Structure 1
Amino acid sequence: MDSERPRSSLRRSVARAILTALTPLILGILAPGLAGAAEKSVTFAHQDMVVPFRALMASGAIEKATGYTVTWRKFGGGGDVIRAMASGNVQIGEAGSSPIAAAASQGLDIQLFWILDEIADAEQLVARNGTGIQSVADLRGKTVAVPFVSTSHYQLIAALADAGLSQKDVTILNMRPPEIAAAWERGDIDATFIWDPVLARVKKSGTVVMSAGDIARKGKATFDGLVVDRAWAAQNRDFLVTLVKLIAAEDAAYAAKPWAAGSPEVKAVAKITGADPAEVPASLVSYRFPTLDAQASPAWLGGGAAKALTETAEFLKAQGRVQALAPDYGRFVIGDYVATARQ
């Protein structure tokens, strides 16, 4: 027995030495896989627009289907979302066509990969009752609040130009939606161009002067889209394909049977956006949600979105909102994930 102990001790020493020598090699082999697992996370910046996607967010279906940890961060406007993406802290974000066009003009390396909604009548110019404002021309000398560099801001400027007014003819205040709601209640502003849930609140004591749909019919269509950091997208293609499949399915479910005020989906939308559940169904109806096939069509990711971004950027430059134009706005639009999702 005594003679076996030295040999056993020697074997343990040799085993430890071999393990020590092999550890760096083993870790080197496993490291890429471990890193890949650690990287299965994404920070997603969203806003408060009342859209079916909110119900999908609340369900946890994205996390379950992809295996990713999704950190949801709510922002007050598209400009804030774009700034967060520029900082590198956000990989995917929701923004309107105006802030996306501005971001592309400034060289931010993002790609529009999904049209979240066509704004249609979901954004409106509302004047406070008693101000005497009945048309855009009546805004001369008045105070109007709007989130700067948002689609509402773009639409307001377009409406003013169409009415023969310049931005100097109106006092335009840069406010986020919650700030607009508070300013309206205080009586600090005469009008606002805004979306739900704030839109529903101001309409209770105001009059709609015009909508985004009116402006779209004059050739200046607007939309909200999902944009992604180009480098991150290249490493997480499967996530994006699954994401667009899930959004398309949620939109289709809503289109097939619009949600009633007491439904779980409406409650989820209201919780995330801060909207009154009773007002959510009417808010949803104000938007149009392109189907998976429509997303891939020439109207949207197949060319129309790039054209809209180009025209929006040109308008913003003419108004002094961007300093220069990008050579090609088409490079900021990608239909690959939708194309794969359709297969």
Structure 2
Amino acid sequence: MLRTALAGLVLASFTLSACAETIRIAIGTQDTTINCAAGGLLIRELGLLDKYLPHDGPYKDARYEVQWKNFTSGAPLTNEMVAGKLDFGAMADFPGSFNGVAFETAGKHSLFISVLSGSIKGSGNGIVVPSASPVQSLAELKGKTISVPFASTAHGMLLRAVAAQGWDPLKDVNIIAQPPEVAGSALQAGKIDAHADFVPFAELFPSRGFARKIYDGSQANAPTFHGALVDQAYAKKYPEIVVAYLRASIEANQLLTAEPEKYSELIAKVTGVDAEVNYLFYGPLGVQTRDLSWKPEYRQAVGTAIDTLKLLKKADRGLDLNTFIDDQYIRAAFKASNLDYSAQLANYKPTPLTAVDALSGKAITDFSHVAEIWVRGEAKVRQYASAESAFTALASLKQEGKNIRAVYAQASDSGIKLLADQAWFASDAQGHLSAFLLKGQAQQFATAQGGKVFDFTDATTQAVAVR
């Protein structure tokens, strides 16, 4: 029995006399932070939790009262968890670490129980500038105003990026606090020079045409993730419920892998975040991996977050990572779902792509130059082995009067999925195209290969001309 497998987790006070009680399951979500979807939005919208809640043994006659509350950031969610109004919460490494500190300060304890989505390189966080800005790289922002949600995972990325430039964050740049909903308007009005943010805003703002991404978190090479937390006292009293919640998260991730377009549309319907942006994260070879295992890099991210929070004077105490990060529940959830946790812990591959080139019909075996097209009205995204193949198909689709929702390209250096109309392309001596986030990266490649640099419009023209 599962309860036997979780021996040692149950408080002695939890006896059969509690069988008929009504058990609250109060979950705090961040719907617009789309890589929390497997820990909140999808579980709620698809009713996944009910499938796994226990109804035997001590829970034979238990009644469940499931409560959901949505937040736009982690700080107010943490406040309600500490106040005892919520049992679970989904948030990023930085606010998650602050959650642990806040609980300790209140004489309580919270547990980081799983990762939901992340990147060991740091992708997901990013810096954008107004679309009309001449700025092409972070190095050009010295002396400029950069806004960021304070004490967020993006704030930590920005501080690391500034330090890597050799700048003093208090003198060489003007960093101001601004949530994404305010920053979007500020970018459009030209009131700030740049904005640093977490998922999905560094992709969403460019997708909507008023910003351009000039820095990806992977350039800082600092792991980042969003994960799930629980009040420790609750977890000890109801360990099977914690495992049930995580099993629901596992199924949500499996559904996203199987049908990323379908669930990108659902997330868009609930949040207003465009499905085309959701697919950047949830599609094959996406910006982040949906990985519930506690890889060493994610443990490191929590430690880095705690240190940075001290630097920001948002925390004056540390946390014991060995007790704050508790993987016994996710291990139990994997076992109950007949999955191999150790195998997943060792798996660093992105969400896989198994497809044929939609133009040639040949199987795609090299994923370094993959490009994709999402045609409006089509349930599935079309995949291509190369940008040249995709751009040739794009020209034909436009001639046919098709409405194109999005074009994607894989960055040749970092491997992250890009919005192709925001990317830069460089040719080699044979004319083959490689995609890059930054113009400088494309120029460096072109110089080394004896090729040329193209923006999206010129790259599509070039590809059609060559073929």
**Interval of TM-score (by shorter of Structure 1 and Structure 2):** 0.7 to 0.9
Measure how far apart 1:47 and its partner are: 4.2
In structure 2, what is the equivalent of residue 116 of structure 1? Answer: 116
Q: What are the equivalent positions in structure 2 for 1:191-210 lying under 5 Å apart?
A: 191-203=194-206, 204-210=209-215
Measure how far apart 1:206 and its partner are: 2.7
In structure 1, what is the equivalent of residue 177 of structure 2? Answer: 174
In structure 2, what is the equivalent of residue 250 of structure 1? Answer: 252
Amino acid at match of 1:191: A
Query: In 1, distance between residues paired with 2:16 and 2:317?
Result: 47
Unaligned runs of 5+ in 2: 1-14, 54-62, 336-467
The reply on whether 1:81 has 2:77 as its aligned counterpart is yes
Query: In 1, distance between residues paired with 2:28 and 2:300?
Result: 26
Counting matched residue pairs gives: 297
Residues 30 and 95 of structure 1, relative CA distance in 2, 3 Å threshold: closer
In structure 2, what is the equivalent of residue 316 of structure 1? Answer: 309
The reply on whether 1:45 has 2:29 as its aligned counterpart is yes
Deviations 1:305-342 (A, max 9, x none): 4433223322332444432323x222111111112123
RMSD: 2.5
Residues 307 and 266 of structure 1, relative CA distance in 2, 3 Å threshold: closer
In structure 1, what is the equivalent of residue 43 of structure 2? Answer: 56
Residues 140 and 253 of structure 1, relative CA distance in 2, 3 Å threshold: same
TM-score by length of 1: 0.78
Query: In 2, distance between residues paired with 1:75 and 1:176?
Result: 13
Query: In 1, distance between residues paired with 2:227 and 2:131?
Result: 33
Q: Report SS of the residue matched to 2:29.
A: strand
Q: Indicate if the aligned counterparts of 1:196 and 1:283 stay in contact, CA closer than 8 A.
A: no
Residues 342 and 43 of structure 1, relative CA distance in 2, 3 Å threshold: closer
In structure 2, what is the equivalent of residue 25 of structure 1? Answer: none
Q: Which stretch shows the higher mean deviation, 43-52 or 279-288?
A: 43-52
Q: Report SS of the residue matched to 1:165.
A: coil
The reply on whether 1:325 has 2:318 as its aligned counterpart is yes
The reply on whether 1:93 has 2:95 as its aligned counterpart is no
Amino acid at match of 1:234: K
Of the two structures, which has the highest relative contact order with CA contacts closer than 8 Å and spacing of 6 or more? 1
Measure how far apart 1:56 and its partner are: 3.0
Q: What are the equivalent positions in structure 2 for 1:203-222 lying under 5 Å apart?
A: 203=206, 204-216=209-221, 220-222=222-224
Q: Which stretch shows the higher mean deviation, 227-236 or 166-175?
A: 166-175
In structure 1, what is the equivalent of residue 288 of structure 2? Answer: 287
In structure 2, what is the equivalent of residue 3 of structure 1? Answer: none
Residues 252 and 146 of structure 1, relative CA distance in 2, 3 Å threshold: same
In structure 2, what is the equivalent of residue 266 of structure 1? Answer: 264
* Corresponding residue to 1:307 among 300, 303, 322: 300
Measure how far apart 1:125 and its partner are: 0.9
Query: In 1, distance between residues paired with 2:50 and 2:192?
Result: 42
Determine which structure has more spread, i.e. the larger CA radius of gyration: 1
Higher share in helix: 1
Residues 87 and 173 of structure 1, relative CA distance in 2, 3 Å threshold: farther
Residues 65 and 129 of structure 1, relative CA distance in 2, 3 Å threshold: same
Residues 31 and 253 of structure 1, relative CA distance in 2, 3 Å threshold: closer
Query: In 1, distance between residues paired with 2:71 and 2:325?
Result: 23
Measure how far apart 1:114 and its partner are: 0.9
Residues 330 and 118 of structure 1, relative CA distance in 2, 3 Å threshold: same
In structure 2, what is the equivalent of residue 72 of structure 1? Answer: 68
Measure how far apart 1:117 and its partner are: 0.9
* Corresponding residue to 1:151 among 136, 142, 153: 153
Q: Report SS of the residue matched to 2:260.
A: coil
In structure 2, what is the equivalent of residue 5 of structure 1? Answer: none
Unaligned runs of 5+ in 1: 1-28
Amino acid at match of 1:312: A
The reply on whether 1:337 has 2:329 as its aligned counterpart is yes
Deviations 1:61-103 (A, max 9, x none): 2135326333222212122322222222221111211122233
Deviations 1:138-181 (A, max 9, x none): 22222222111111111011111111122222222222222222
Residues 325 and 30 of structure 1, relative CA distance in 2, 3 Å threshold: closer
Q: Indicate if the aligned counterparts of 1:55 and 1:266 stay in contact, CA closer than 8 A.
A: no
Query: In 2, distance between residues paired with 1:184 and 1:74?
Result: 26
Query: In 2, distance between residues paired with 1:199 and 1:68?
Result: 38
Q: Indicate if the aligned counterparts of 2:125 and 2:157 stay in contact, CA closer than 8 A.
A: no
Query: In 2, distance between residues paired with 1:208 and 1:310?
Result: 28
Residues 30 and 235 of structure 1, relative CA distance in 2, 3 Å threshold: closer
Measure how far apart 1:210 and its partner are: 1.6
TM-score by length of 2: 0.58
Q: What percentage of aligned pairs have identical amino acids?
A: 21
Q: Which stretch shows the higher mean deviation, 224-233 or 122-131?
A: 122-131
Q: Report SS of the residue matched to 1:111.
A: strand
Measure how far apart 1:227 and its partner are: 0.7
Q: Indicate if the aligned counterparts of 1:266 and 1:281 stay in contact, CA closer than 8 A.
A: yes
